[in-house]
Amino acid sequence: MSGVLKLSKLWNLLHSSFWFIPTLMVISAIALSFAAINFDQSSDSNIIRKLAWTYSLGSSGSRAILSTIAGSMITVATTAFSITIVALQLASSQFGPRLLRNFMQDTGNQVVLGTFISTFVYSLLVLRTVNGITENQFVPHLAVTGGIVLAIASVGVLIYFIHHAASSIQVDQVITRVGHDLADGIDRLFPKKIGQDILKHQHGADDIPADFDRDFQPIHSQKSGYVQAVNEQQLMQIATENNLLLYIQHRPGKFVVKNSSLVQCYPGAQVNKQLAKKISGAFVLGLQRTEQQDVEFSIDQLVEIAARALSPGINDPFTAIRCIDQLTASLCYLLQKEIPSAYRYDDHNHLRVVAEPVTFAHVTDAAFNQIRQYGKSSAAVTIRLLEAIATITSYTQTVEQRKALRRHADMIQRGSQEGLSEALDRQDVDDRYDRVLTAIAQTNAAKN
């Protein structure tokens, strides 16, 4: 499983690059050019000329058309690359630098660049084989026809790219894509069961040994970086085989400083260098956060868009409201999932791994805190936040979840009293706040 996590990290890096897919396409174009040329060389030229759909002019015409295709493709590729860089700059300034990764993962842009470059490489390789000497003349008619087909296809790709570049930077499209990523992350991570959880063992913290704080041995990080993934299956296996209790100190998305504690291992006397290396190897660290096991990463992206929209230089509450709507849908969806316990047991009912869980309170803090702080002077944003909390309340399952929502509603209402100067605006906020309290009371009565 450790290898799977590392392969997943490698795939994320490749998927976020502008060179991987174009490189594969260029290699395919090279192979196609050699295959077409070999076919032309091994086949009867008269037979190829009789094919009505093939290009059948002489060497001078073939050189001219291949030169035209190659020259135009490299020009168009340069233009497309320039447009992509401009789109990235606009996305960075308008939505935030953390959103650049989403644009770089856009497969459409990578395929467009790969198509233009592949057509250019294919045309060059075919062009070098066109021999115009009279006594030894060779024109790869089928290969030249392939270049024309690729050029026509490139025109279609160019039309697609113009439309795609214009639509991909629209704020609604960006927010929707991030919302889809968040929903995919929720589906992927919840429920996330390792071994047996506390739902089958009503002990939890009581199963932690009394001398744990005295006898544990910390396992230190070998480098600084963000925890991108934790192989909890591997940790469970190590703990079971060595009769250990592992207390994970950092969940995915948190920053770890070199030589800081990753895991507290009990009993510490059993820890040696080889075991410590295995345990630290279950953590995948990187230079940036990813959505691989970090559900708050996509939430933070939506919050960043909203926070920038609410800045004095932009002052766009409509974009912030759009982000709140997407967060509302995602939190309602999360409440329909099972959040795993922090306490993980083996098949023999022994507590083996304690992991800091992603609680609903943590998620609501990430979703609402910064928007509340930046939007307290906007009546529209404040009202929509309270409406969102009222909507989310009906999906809650526990009293703790409703307490977390009540806490945010209280902070939003108090912030509006400071941030809104108009009395009628404050009255509207108070009306929405009362609706939240009513929704919480009704849900408490229905669930009890």
pLDDT tens per residue across span 367-386 = 999 999 999 999 999 999 99
Three-state secondary-structure class, residue 252 = coil
**Range of lowest pLDDT (131-145, 275-289, 415-429):** 131-145
Average pLDDT over residues 430-440: 94
Q: Taking 90 as the threshold, does the pLDDT of residue 105 lie above it?
A: no
In the block, residue with structure tokens 């940036």: 288
Q: What percent of the chain lies above the pLDDT cut of 70?
A: 90
Q: What percent of the chain lies above the pLDDT cut of 90?
A: 37
Q: What is the pLDDT of residue 194?
A: 41
Average pLDDT over residues 317-345: 90
Q: What is the pLDDT of residue 448?
A: 67
Three-state secondary-structure class, residue 284 = strand
Q: What is the pLDDT of residue 338?
A: 81
- Residues near 298 by Cβ (< 8 Å), separated by ≥ 6? 178, 179, 181, 182, 185, 291, 330
Alpha-carbon distances, residue 247 vs 189, 210, 338 (angstroms) = 20, 14, 22
Three-state secondary-structure class, residue 292 = coil
Which pLDDT band, with edges at 50, 70 and 90, does 48 fall under?
low
Which pLDDT band, with edges at 50, 70 and 90, does 135 fall under?
low
Q: What is the pLDDT of residue 193?
A: 42
CA 37 to CA 143: how far, in whole Å? Answer: 6
Residue 291 contacts residue 181 (beta carbons within 8 Å): yes
Q: Residue 94's closest CA among 177, 181, 175, 161?
A: 175
Name the β-bridge partners of 227. 285
Q: Residue 143's closest CA among 24, 38, 26, 25?
A: 38
The sign of the torsion formed by the CA atoms of 76, 100, 374, 337 equals: positive
Three-state secondary-structure class, residue 265 = strand
Highest mean pLDDT among 2-16, 81-95, 227-241: 227-241
Average pLDDT over residues 51-74: 78
Higher pLDDT, 445 or 409: 409
Q: What is the pLDDT of residue 201?
A: 46
What mean pLDDT, rounded, does the chain reach?
85
CA 48 to CA 39: how far, in whole Å? Answer: 10
Q: What are the two backbone dihedrals, phi and then psi, of residue 426, each rounded to the nearest 5 degrees? A: -65, -35
Question: pLDDT per residue over 189-209, tens digit each?
Answer: 875 444 444 444 445 677 788
Query: Strands, DSSP E only, in 305-392?
Result: 343-345, 351-354
